[in-house]
Every structure is written in C-alpha cells, then in structure tokens.
C-alpha cells in the first residue's frame, strides 16, 4: 500500500491552461499551496513503534457502515511527510461519534437477545478492537441519552459521561440525570448535577475537561450555557452566556481546542464558511472562573473565493500549529480539507482522493488523533 503526499510547486498543474503563468504571482503572494493525499482502500498494519503519533482521523459514514481513515496531520507544507492510512468498518445505522485521544465512542444498533437495542461501543482505530459498554439502566424508555468520551491526563484514565434527558425541551420535561463509567471497571455510577439542563449534540474534551453546550430549563430558546465536566473530579461547572449575539453564534459555532483553551469558531454569525465569506471569528475562553472571553477576527485572503469556489465548509478545529481546519460535512469531488494559518494568513488545500464511495454521506474529521496500540483490556 502506498500513500502519497505531493506538494504542487508548478502552479500550472493547479490551474492549468495557458493563463497559468499570469496567475502565479497572485498565488505566491498568498502562499496558496495544493497538496494531494491519496488514501488507498486496503487494511494497514500499524507499526507498533509509532505509538502516540498525532494524526488526522476521518470517520466516514456509508449507510450502515462506518469507515475510519487516518493520515499524518499537516504541520508544515514544506516538509515531506509519509502519512499512514487505515480502513475499518463496523455497523452504524444511526450512529453518533465522539473522539478523544486514541479512542472513539460510537452509538450503534445491535440485535441482543432477539431485541434491537442501542449499545455504546468504544473503538480503537489503531488496533481495530471494540468494547461494548454495559447496558444503561433508565426508567424512561423515551429518554434521550447523549454519550461523551473523556480522558483524565493526570490519572491517565478514560471515562464515559452519559446524560439522560426526558425527550423534549419544555421546562417540565427536564428530568435529567448523569452517569459515569471508568473504562476497565464495567460499572455505571450516578453523579449529581445542581442545574437541570438539556445537552446539545456538540462537545470536546480539553486537558481533562469535557465542554458541551446546553439549554437550561428557563423555557427560553437558544443556548444558555456551556457546561464544563471535570473528568477527574467528576464535578460540573457552568458558564452562562448572557450576550444575545454571542449566544446565537455559540449555537451555530464549532467548539475547538485552541492552545489548551476552549475556543469557538464561526464566520459572520454562521457555523460555516463559503467563497463569499470575508472573515473567521474565534472566541477563546481565557478564564473559566471569571468567565472572560477574548475575540479574534481573521480576514480571509483575496484569493479565498477562487480557492473555495462554491463549497460550503464546516469548521473542524484548530491545530497545534494555529491552523484553522475546514472541510465539507458532505464530501464533494474533489474532496478537500482546508488549512488557514492565522499567523501567516496563508491557505493550504489538501485533496483527499478515494472518497467517491462516501458521496452524499457524512464525513467526521478529528484533529490530534493519537495512534495508540495498547490493547483495549489494558486501557
């Protein structure tokens, strides 16, 4: 199996045609680079010596299956890397995917004891091992359950947070409770939360804290708070959003890890960018106790519309090299991943080949995935 990463240094290959030479100067000014990553659809044996290598993880839905691909994460367009790709599939008809460090948590439908039940599965893409979590007990069969995977870097433990809320968003239906499971124990524990709330389907784990959006039981519409769950202490902290404009942007924004702090990405009040977009906004939680935020606005380069075209891009997150990563939630072809460097104001476009199978299906992309070859029983 061969995975190629090629830097195009002849701009005629990018644009083609006789007018390519006329466009070289414009492209060079904005440091626009086109990179091709070729994923080959074969299973790959992971090198055990490559433990804990940060990579880019793709989770691609294809009807009843979920495929995982990985590639070395782009850090410097001028450095020639040798990425590793992998493929795995499992049944996931109505799945939800969460990710932290080297593990993935998915929600799956399986036939257990002649009954179709929802199960939660921990999956290691590096070893292709899966672990079905114990069944969750609830008194409300119509309750909505949302699962998050967290990692405690101090005790080096993975924990699963499961929040159960009665279906619906009306105040009287906020019958909600939380359970935690530490991987390796096999037991769910009920924990207390002082403020009833309904979770929204977006979360991120940063330095041992799971952040997620929530709606309070006030009966009003919109996002009302950010909930911070400390994985180690298993305690909740709440950050209220009072500004209407910020609350609206928070609702459509993307949570990200910005240099170890919680960040929220959006563009002109929207949760996506397109060729007509002029800037990207990044809000950073500087002090969670004082609930202090900093706002950063990044103006996109003049050639942005030429690079993006008619595509609508969702935010993936921010890399450790301060690059904002964007890609289409439903892949078009060619399928691209875009990197915007907020320091150099440059754009890098990565073409991912071999994604035709996933046309009109969702693709989830996770940054800073850690390839870990420890067996699931050791985790």
| Residue found by looking up tokens 């870990």 in the block | 372
By C-alpha distance, which of 100, 56, 101, 102 is closest to 339? 56
Q: Give the lowest-confidence range in 103-117, 163-177, 357-371.
A: 163-177
CATH number of the domain enclosing 200: 2.120.10.30
> Which residue range is the domain that position 125 belongs to?
5-378
If you average pLDDT over residues 126-137, what whole number do you get? 84
DSSP 146-189: EEEEEEETTTTEEEEEEEEE-SS-SGGG--EEEEEEETTT--EE
- Here the tokens at position 114 are 């002649």
Residue that wins the pLDDT comparison between 255 and 52:
255
Domain count, the chain: 1
Positive or negative: CA dihedral 202, 318, 57, 375: negative
| Residue 267: DSSP 8-state | B
Name, in order, each residue with C-beta under 8 angstroms of 148's C-beta and a sequence gap of 6 or more.
98, 105, 160, 161, 162, 163, 203, 205, 210, 212, 229
- The model's pLDDT over 321-363, given as tens digits with 9 standing for 90+, comes to 899 999 987 777 778 889 999 999 999 888 877 777 777 788 8
Query: How many whole angstroms from its chain centre is CA 115?
Result: 32
Element (H, E) at 23: helix 20-29
Mention every residue, 6+ apart, whose C-beta is less than 8 A from residue 106: 66, 90, 92, 95, 96, 97, 98, 120, 121, 123
pLDDT at 276: 92
User: pTM for the complete prediction?
Assistant: 0.80
pLDDT digits (tens, 9 = 90+) for 154-194: 999 999 999 887 655 554 455 578 999 999 888 999 999 88
375 C-beta neighbours (distance < 10 Å), count: 10
* Banded model confidence at residue 370, pLDDT cuts 50, 70, 90: confident
């Amino acid at each position: 199996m061969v995975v190629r990463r090629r830097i195009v240094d002849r701009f005629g290959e990018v644009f083609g045609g006789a007018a390519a030479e006329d466009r070289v100067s414009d492209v060079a000014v904005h440091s626009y680079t086109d990179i091709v990553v070729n994923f080959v659809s074969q299973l790959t044996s992971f090198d055990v010596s490559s433990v804990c290598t940060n990579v880019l993880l793709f989770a691609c839905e294809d009807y009843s299956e979920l495929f995982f691909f990985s590639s070395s994460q782009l850090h410097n367009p001028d450095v020639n890397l040798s990425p590793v790709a992998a493929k795995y599939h499992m049944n996931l008809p109505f799945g939800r995917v969460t990710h932290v460090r080297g593990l993935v948590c998915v929600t799956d439908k399986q036939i257990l004891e002649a009954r179709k039940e929802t199960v939660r599965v921990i999956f290691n893409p590096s070893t292709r091992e899966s672990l079905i979590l114990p069944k969750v007990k609830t008194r409300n069969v119509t309750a909505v359950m949302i699962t998050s995977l967290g990692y405690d870097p101090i005790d080096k433990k993975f924990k699963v947070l499961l929040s159960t809320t009665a279906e619906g968003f009306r105040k009287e239906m906020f019958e909600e409770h939380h359970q935690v499971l530490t991987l390796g124990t096999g037991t769910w524990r009920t924990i207390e939360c002082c403020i009833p709330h309904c979770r929204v389907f977006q979360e991120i784990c940063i330095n041992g804290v799971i952040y997620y959006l929530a709606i309070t039981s006030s009966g009003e519409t919109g996002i009302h708070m950010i909930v911070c769950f400390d994985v180690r202490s298993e305690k909740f902290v709440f950050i209220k959003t009072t500004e209407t404009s910020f609350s609206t942007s928070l609702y459509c924004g993307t949570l990200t890890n910005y240099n170890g702090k919680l960040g929220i990405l959006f563009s002109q009040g929207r949760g996506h960018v397109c060729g007509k977009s002029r800037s990207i906004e990044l809000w950073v939680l500087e002090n969670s106790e004082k609930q202090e935020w900093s706002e950063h606005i990044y103006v996109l380069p003049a050639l942005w519309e030429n690079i993006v075209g008619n595509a609508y891009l969702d935010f993936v997150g921010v890399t450790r090299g301060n690059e904002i990563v964007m890609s289409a939630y439903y892949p078009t072809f060619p399928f691209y991943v875009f990197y915007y460097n907020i320091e150099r104001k440059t754009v890098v476009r990565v073409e991912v080949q071999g994604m035709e199978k996933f046309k009109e299906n969702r693709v989830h992309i996770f940054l800073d995935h850690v390839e870990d070859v420890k067996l699931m029983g050791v985790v």
